Chain A
Amino acid sequence: MIRTILCVVALILAFTAAPAAESPVRFGLTAVVVRDDLQLYDRWSSYLSKRVGRPVQFVQARSYREIMGLLQAGGLDFAWICGYPFVQQRDPETLELLAVPVYEGAPLYRSYIIVHRDSPISSLAEMKGRVFAFSDPDSNSGYLVPQAMLAERGHTPQSFFRLSFFTYSHAETIEAVAEGLAEGGAVDSYVWEYLDGNQPDLTARTRIIARSETFGFPPLVARLGIGPELRYAMSEALIGMTQDAEGRELLAQFALDGFAQYPPGLFDSIRDMADSLRQVPLVEPPPTQTVRVIGEVE
């Protein structure tokens, strides 16, 4: 008798879960997080799927710009982007702040200027005429912040460095510096620290010569068109991760304290910095690249 009841319950559960599988929630990822552990994202997607009630599919692209394009075109519902793209002017606005990661007690991070461990360089000023690696043209810590640092001295990357290039990934910027291809690089402090814990061999070949002031941590955003129920469900799922063991375990993997809601003003300092640099002509970023999909593929 009990067995029959269990079977019925299982059937009901199966049927209720079935419609959710038809339209997955697409979640864009950028280089603000280290994306080499695919299993971690599978687990996170299944965790969020359970909480949201619909399958969650992570979509990964090489550049921020691709993710932003997809977001605005409706190809993505959510994305974990950088503060700089978030504050960029959109008319009409298409994005809404969903949650901000809390890192070491605050929703803040910095930009690190790194050099090779054996390099004699000890400040950004000594980097003149050298090769520098930026992460992404739309990255705050990986491009905007060092640009601002140079602007303080009346320089642009073109006038200051002999050569600079984009790696489109903080982790790869660290690698380019560690390999000696770039003599210096600008990276996200969270990514550097995360890798320092997970791949200490790589970060040990680099040295931090400058730390910027703090900025709002790369936020998670929602496309305005998705409707409040899904946005609410996702926001609750993210913020509630500290509430259960599985969520905490995932957060520990990301080396984050959790996700929380903050006002968009958190990123004003980035906007101000971008505005002040507006007069300075920016390096025209190269064309966009291919899109890679992680997680469930339809």
Chain B
Amino acid sequence: MKIPLAHTAMIVGVALTIGVVVVAQAWVQFREELEEKVLLMGRDVAAAAPEAILRSDYWALYNALRQKASHLPARIGEPRLQSGMVLGLDGRVLAHLDPVNHPLGLPLAPEAETERRLLADALEVLTPSVIGGGGKDGDFIESIVPVTYNQQRLGVVRMRVSMDELKDRIWQAGFTVLFLTLGLAMAGSLLGAVISSRLVRRLKALSDGMQSVGRGEASQVRPLPADGRDEIGQVVDRFNEMAAELAEKKRLEEKLAISEKLAGLGQVAAGVAHEVNNPLGGMLNCIDTLKKHPDDPALVQRYLPLLEKGLNRIGATVRELLVELHEEATAKPCDLACLSDLKELVAAEIGDRRIELRWDNQVSDEMCLGCSCPNLQQVVLNLTNNSIQAMPEGGALAFRSSCENRSLVMEVEDSGVGIPLEHRRHLFEPFFTSRPNGTGLGLWVTYQLVRKMHGTIQVDSEPGRGSRFRIQLPLEIDATAEDTR
């Protein structure tokens, strides 16, 4: 709306300015021309007058006046002669274009005061002059030319033309300009409105499209109608391309996520199968042997613990896989006092290994975390166990915990072998392990737990120099925090 209005205002402004200037110029020019014409007419009469005046040839004088006056065109819109006369120096009429109302030989006796003054002035005029004024017949221009013979004044010629026609012409010109202006403005604003509404509509569509991309709805962005080869059309084309690419990317990502999920599931299934199958072979062998020698107590004595061990292993595997169900079932808010208990457990795990434990717990026991204590303990123990395993030759293990920005931050750092780059991608996948007897579930479980607690886990590692795991868990999870996620 703004653009069309500005267009209209601009067009109207320009046109009116030009119109006013043109009309004003025309007025000045018309007036000058008219003054010239009237003066010329007066001079003509004055040139023909002396002989007739000297001879009292009123008929010749009247004819001269009439003839010169007829030079003024009688066309419509042309200035009209209001009056024309030759007066004697005593103010008597020597000739008048309206002889009936201004009889010959009588003094001209105007009623109006201004006319009387004009008459008195005219009788004193020594050089041809042009005056302007207004009277009962409207505004006029009058030429006053003295009639002279041998440098002696005989009388004066007064020719008066009406300005009304001139004004009418100027008004007409003015109206023409006004109508043209309005017409142009209307046409211009209509055109402007059409152009700009089209422009605005296209820009709005583009803006909406960009907004929906911004909201991550790339797949839902319908392509904008391609409209023209102008700049906006090109932008629209680029935008459509971009949106299409984004949508394609998103589709590919979703596809990839699904296939990764499926691959992960397959891996889990394969891992489970493998973990279950490994002890199964030995256990079935034991059972086979026991079946062949049912009465050999030595065999029972030997194999039963093996069977038990294998079953326990299967049981442990299944339990750990069920960690999520387990966690849901026991989930209840806990205080952080349980962190203090962990030191003993970690120290026990280190046992007589040559590992130095640096325990730095700065979290006050009263603080509360929206998760169960065992889960939190398991996360820490999983990490410390990994660290201990990573330092077969001994080293240093550090645990730090603190509160930063309404979240609990825990760090487990070791000076162990570190994690090779190629392992880091698979670090949290189930059944991925770099140890011969590892289950490959420790970090996976840790990851699942941290995720459940809406936390993040970060790994820094340098092969040969150790690793550092940093876990950040939000404190006091409430409804609003949940929403902003």
Whole-angstrom distance between the alpha carbons of A76 and B249 in the complex? 125
Contact A166:B104 (CB < 8 A) given known A180-B99, A181-B99: no
Which residues of A in the span 149-201 have a Cβ within 8 Å of any Cβ on B? 162-163, 165-168, 172, 176, 179-183
B463 within 8 A of A: no
Contact A163:B58 (CB < 8 A) given known A131-B103, A131-B104, A179-B99: yes
User: A163, B105: Cβ atoms under 8 Å?
Assistant: yes
User: A167, B55: Cβ atoms under 8 Å?
Assistant: no
Whole-angstrom distance between the alpha carbons of A83 and B68 in the complex? 36
A134 nearest CB neighbor, chain B only: B59
Across the interface, which residues of B come within 8 angstroms of A168, CB to CB? 59
User: A180, B57: Cβ atoms under 8 Å?
Assistant: no
- 18 residue pairs of the A-B complex, CB under 8 angstroms, read A131-B58, A131-B103, A133-B59, A163-B58, A163-B105, A165-B57, A165-B58, A168-B59, A172-B59, A176-B62, A180-B99, A180-B100, A181-B58, A181-B59, A181-B104, A183-B103, A286-B55, A286-B56
Which residues of A in the span 122-167 have a Cβ within 8 Å of any Cβ on B? 131, 133, 162-163, 165-167
Across the interface, which residues of B come within 8 angstroms of A287, CB to CB? 55
B210 to chain A, nearest CB (A): 88
B50 to chain A, nearest CB (A): 14
Whole-angstrom distance between the alpha carbons of A9 and B57 in the complex? 57
Across the interface, which residues of B come within 8 angstroms of A166, CB to CB? 57, 59
Across the interface, which residues of B come within 8 angstroms of A133, CB to CB? 59
- B contact face: mostly helix, strand, loop, or mixed: loop
Whole-angstrom distance between the alpha carbons of A117 and B210 in the complex? 95
Whole-angstrom distance between the alpha carbons of A166 and B56 in the complex? 9
B405 to chain A, nearest CB (A): 114
Whole-angstrom distance between the alpha carbons of A132 and B171 in the complex? 46
Across the interface, which residues of B come within 8 angstroms of A163, CB to CB? 58, 104-105
- A residues apposed to B, CB below 8 Å: 116, 131, 133, 162-163, 165-168, 172, 176, 179-183, 286-287
Contact A167:B59 (CB < 8 A) given known A131-B105, A162-B105: yes
Whole-angstrom distance between the alpha carbons of A163 and B88 in the complex? 14
B56 to chain A, nearest CB (A): 6
Across the interface, which residues of B come within 8 angstroms of A131, CB to CB? 58, 103-105
Across the interface, which residues of A come within 8 angstroms of B105, CB to CB? 131, 162-163
User: A176, B103: Cβ atoms under 8 Å?
Assistant: no
A118 nearest CB neighbor, chain B only: B100
Across the interface, which residues of A come within 8 angstroms of B59, CB to CB? 133, 165-168, 172, 176, 181
A173 nearest CB neighbor, chain B only: B59
User: B57, A286: Cβ atoms under 8 Å?
Assistant: yes
Which residues of B in the span 58-86 have a Cβ within 8 Å of any Cβ on A? 58-59, 62
Across the interface, which residues of A come within 8 angstroms of B58, CB to CB? 131, 163, 165, 181
A286 nearest CB neighbor, chain B only: B55
Across the interface, which residues of A come within 8 angstroms of B106, CB to CB? 162
B64 to chain A, nearest CB (A): 13
Contact with A along B87-110 (1 / 0, CB 8 A): 000000000000110011110000
Whole-angstrom distance between the alpha carbons of A63 and B62 in the complex? 18
Whole-angstrom distance between the alpha carbons of A168 and B59 in the complex? 9
B154 to chain A, nearest CB (A): 16
Whole-angstrom distance between the alpha carbons of A168 and B60 in the complex? 10
B238 to chain A, nearest CB (A): 87
Which residues of B in the span 104-163 have a Cβ within 8 Å of any Cβ on A? 104-106
Whole-angstrom distance between the alpha carbons of A128 and B106 in the complex? 14
- Besides A131-B58, A179-B62, 7 other A-B contacts (C-beta < 8 A): A116-B100, A131-B104, A162-B106, A163-B58, A163-B105, A165-B59, A181-B99
